Amino acid sequence: MLLSFSKSSLLVVALITGVAVPVQAAVDVYSSRKEALVKPLFDQFTQATGVQVNLVTGKDDALLKRLQVEGDASPADLLITADAARLHRAKTGGLIQAVDSDLLRQVIPAQWRDSDNQWFGLTSRARPIIYATDRVDPANLSTYEALADSQWQGRICVRSSSNVYNQSLVASMLAAGDMSNVLESVTGLVNNFARPPAGGDTDQLRAVAAGQCDVALANTYYLARLARSDKPEDQAVANSLSVFWPNQDGRGAHFNISGVALTKSANSQAEAQQLMEFMVSRQAQDWYAQVNNEYPLVADVAVADVLAAFGNAKADTVSMQTLGDLNKKALMVMDMAGWR
């Protein structure tokens, strides 16, 4: 009969018996991405290197809280999470540490990584304006700030201010302008809500398709998921909507990231760095971008066809680190504007 043991079990055996027991190299990953969206990639890594990957999935903020509670005793080697603000919180909370990798610095542009090498972007995600094609003339759309105009009164759906994607969007506005102007724009946006914020991005898209509002702010991968769904009702929602890229004559549309970081408690640092570097390889970037419906960060890796159909966009060049730094200020603006 074959027996399998965890790393900790083998260590106990060695301590009790005094017999050296070979321990198979492994990396423990806390990931906010669902298992189906990352495990096949980790399996490729294991096949190529022999290093096992133990995966724990959960909500982004719950994983940060778990790392905080576990402290130095945490088994996690890597954290994979979404949005620059969460990565910033992991850094300021002392949950992660720097990685000295020439490859990561070379492959991931400075805009998409921490200046202290504590976290690195894996893919980027866009948050444009998504509108009903039968009720909105795209010629009337222009910028995020222009959604404060009276023509959009009662026509906008967006999720709550507790959503980090919206916080980072407001942070990008603060990075480009002064606080008083941003507060005026965000207040106008709030005044134009069709309903109190509720639900996730997919709920906003369904609300637009159902006629409860005419435009929404949502990440493109939610629309891509509906477009690629096997369910006719999802495809009907996607077919009734279109993407408008705002601020193309100015700073560009808002993009954010999913990213990876080495935890402070990491025991398998060499193997964890090896996995980080694997995830920015062309092979992994292509798979990751296609499956997650996000934009690759590595040069010359093609976007998924469903994203290509949304058109090309000029992206805001603000650094992800700046968005993290401005997160608290963004929350203050949203609160002052009455965004609940």
For 211-270, write each residue's pLDDT tens digit.
999 999 999 999 999 999 999 999 999 999 999 999 999 999 999 999 999 999 999 999
* Phi (first) and psi of residue 26, to 5 degrees: -150, 155
Q: Is the pTM of this model over 0.85?
A: yes
The angle at the Cα of 285, spanning 280 to 286, to the nearest 5 degrees, equals 155
Domains assigned to the chain:
23-125+256-302 (3.40.190.10), 126-254+314-336 (3.40.190.10)
For 274-326, write each residue's pLDDT tens digit.
999 999 999 999 998 888 899 999 999 999 999 999 999 999 999 999 999 99
The angle at the Cα of 167, spanning 288 to 96, to the nearest 5 degrees, equals 60
Q: How many angstroms separate the most distant Cα atoms in the chain?
A: 77
- Determine the 3-state secondary structure of 126 from DSSP: strand
Quote the CA–CA distance of 126 and 221 in Å, as a whole number. 8
Rg for the chain, CA atoms, rounded: 22
* Helix residue ranges, H only, 148-253: 164-176, 179-191, 201-209, 220-227, 232-239
At 186, list the tokens. Answer: 């965000």
Average pLDDT, the chain: 93
What is the pLDDT, as a whole number, of residue 288?
82
In our burial notation (b when 16+ CB lie closer than 10 A, e otherwise), range 113-135 reads bbeebbbbbbbbbbbbbbbbeee
